[in-house]
Amino acid sequence: MLIGHRYERTPGGDLHIHSHNRVQAGLVLFVAIVALAVPGAFVVGALVDDRSPLARLAPLSWLLVVLAFLLLVALAAVLLVYTETSETLTLSRRDGVGQRHTRTLSGRRTPVNAAFALHGLSGLQLRWHGTLHRGTTQLWLVHHDGSETLLTPGNVAVLPGTRRTDRWLGVLADYLQLPVPVAVLEAPRAAPARAAEEDTDTVAPAPASADKAGAGVRLFFGLLGAFLAVLELTQLLSLLTALATARIRVGGYRVSAHTYYWSEQPLAYAFNVLFGVAMVGLVGMFAIGCLRLALFGRLGSAR
């Protein structure tokens, strides 16, 4: 089965539900392989063929190519290390706790939330998340004290009425000794986290470092910011050359390059110069955002 759940009962009476999405995992693996193969193919082609276009590149263009290759390698590493392709829900009546954790293709395990209690349970509820027509269905575990825990895996959709979802709901309800939810309810208007915020003795505040991006993600965005900065520098030098010589050369992917002169076509020349200035500003904003995320771990200012 490409998408589904695998149920495992341990000798100690614990229940492990492994949710897998092999389609997502295969896509991530394919993109990672392509991202690693493209730089290798270009390097091999440049070593074998002396007439390769890479041999005639300017220094800044060479730097752009190197940064692009490093960016592809970093993308492959981020996909393999950080993309969650499977999830496991562990329920233990013996210990009275449950926990969810995800796993990536590289084997990295990450807890989704803190361990939650399996005593004082009120019931299981299916709720709409988002709009009624475009939303998704989520399964919540409700306690008598009003606290709630999301049990929906992030890689397998909950579709009431399908064999996969009905069996999943039945196994969960049977282990937790709760009735199987049938109706899909509307999401409550009040956020359940409000009560948790008021009870400061029970819930400890999350550390500030939890909101920061991981080292691999920051490295990727650092390379992306450097690539965009060098690209902006090449565009800026082209604009300065165009202003100094009163001519600008414009080319496209499917259109041959064309040169506009201020003395012959002032409107076309001015339009392309202004368009180039706007693109330099836009790329510069993206580059600054990527470098800020790489340095501080978040898009906002470091505090």
Which residues, listed in sequence order, are joined to residue 185 by a DSSP beta bridge?
Answer: 127
Contact 153, 19 (CB under 8 A): yes
Residues 125 and 17 in one domain: yes
DSSP assignment, residue 119? S
Tokens of residue 165, six digits = 């979802």
Domain assignment of residue 112, given as a range:
1-189
Using the predicted structure, report yes or no on whether residue 271 has a pLDDT greater than 90: no
Q: Looking at the domain assignment, is residue 198 inside a domain?
A: no
Using the predicted structure, report yes or no on whether residue 196 has a pLDDT greater than 80: no
| pLDDT tier at 303, thresholds 50, 70, 90 | very low
Provide the b/e sequence for 116-127 (b: ≥16 CB within 10 Å): bebeeeeebbbb
Residues 177 and 226 in one domain: no
Residues 122 and 237 in one domain: no
pLDDT (0 to 100) of residue 212: 65
Edge-to-edge strands, sheet with 136-143: 148-150, 136-143, 121-129, 184-185
Report H helices in the chain.
22-48, 59-82, 163-176, 193-198, 215-245, 266-296
Using the predicted structure, report yes or no on whether residue 238 has a pLDDT greater than 50: yes
Using the predicted structure, report yes or no on whether residue 200 has a pLDDT greater than 50: no
Residues 48 and 92 in one domain: yes
Q: Looking at the domain assignment, is residue 194 inside a domain?
A: no
Q: Looking at the domain assignment, is residue 11 inside a domain?
A: yes
- Furthest CA-CA distance within the chain: 86
- The mean pLDDT of the chain is 82
CA dist 110 and 183 (Å) reads 32
Q: Phi/psi class of residue 24: alpha, beta or left (left: φ > 0; alpha: ψ in -120 to 50)?
A: alpha
Bridging pattern class, strands 121-129 and 3-9: unpaired
CA dist 221 and 216 (Å) reads 9
Residues 185 and 228 in one domain: no
Chain position carrying tokens 């991530």: 28
List Cα–Cα distances, 28 to 31, 135, 156, 299, in angstroms: 5, 25, 16, 25
Using the predicted structure, report yes or no on whether residue 47 has a pLDDT greater than 80: no
Residues 117 and 245 in one domain: no
- Say which range, 54-58, 63-67, 85-89, 273-277, has the weakest mean pLDDT: 54-58
What mean pLDDT is predicted for residues 172-195?
Answer: 76
Q: How many domains does the chain have?
A: 2
Examine the fold and report which residue of 189, 204, 239 is the final residue of a domain before the chain moves on.
189
- The pTM of the full predicted model, rounded to 2 decimals, is 0.71
| pLDDT tier at 295, thresholds 50, 70, 90 | confident
- Say which range, 85-94, 166-175, 229-238, has the weakest mean pLDDT: 229-238
Which residues, listed in sequence order, are joined to residue 146 by a DSSP beta bridge?
Answer: none
Residues 221 and 158 in one domain: no
Tokens of residue 28, six digits = 């991530």
Residues 178 and 221 in one domain: no
Q: Looking at the domain assignment, is residue 207 inside a domain?
A: no
pLDDT (0 to 100) of residue 28: 92
CA dist 70 and 88 (Å) reads 33
What mean pLDDT is predicted for residues 244-248?
Answer: 84
Distant-in-sequence, close-in-space partners of 16: CB < 8 Å, separation ≥ 6:
7, 8, 9, 10, 88, 89, 90, 91
pLDDT (0 to 100) of residue 257: 72
CA dist 53 and 113 (Å) reads 51
Which residues, listed in sequence order, are joined to residue 21 by a DSSP beta bridge?
Answer: 3
| pLDDT tier at 194, thresholds 50, 70, 90 | very low
What mean pLDDT is predicted for residues 270-281?
Answer: 87
Using the predicted structure, report yes or no on whether residue 55 has a pLDDT greater than 70: no
Using the predicted structure, report yes or no on whether residue 204 has a pLDDT greater than 50: no
CA dist 240 and 235 (Å) reads 9
pLDDT (0 to 100) of residue 192: 47
The highest-confidence range among 53-62, 97-106, 291-300, by mean pLDDT, is 97-106
Q: Looking at the domain assignment, is residue 47 inside a domain?
A: yes
Q: Looking at the domain assignment, is residue 206 inside a domain?
A: no
What mean pLDDT is predicted for residues 135-152?
Answer: 88
What mean pLDDT is predicted for residues 82-92?
Answer: 91
Q: How many other C-beta atoms can be found within 10 angstroms of the C-beta atom of residue 172?
A: 22
Examine the fold and report which residue of 157, 189, 221 is the final residue of a domain before the chain moves on.
189
Chain mean position to CA 172: 29
Residues 155 and 256 in one domain: no
Higher pLDDT, 193 or 22: 22
Using the predicted structure, report yes or no on whether residue 197 has a pLDDT greater than 70: no
What mean pLDDT is predicted for residues 3-21?
Answer: 92
Residues 130 and 7 in one domain: yes
Residues 138 and 21 in one domain: yes
Examine the fold and report which residue of 174, 189, 204 is the final residue of a domain before the chain moves on.
189
| pLDDT tier at 247, thresholds 50, 70, 90 | confident
Residues 169 and 218 in one domain: no
pLDDT (0 to 100) of residue 179: 92
Q: Looking at the domain assignment, is residue 204 inside a domain?
A: no
CA-wise closest residue to 141 among 121, 113, 161: 121
Q: Looking at the domain assignment, is residue 195 inside a domain?
A: no
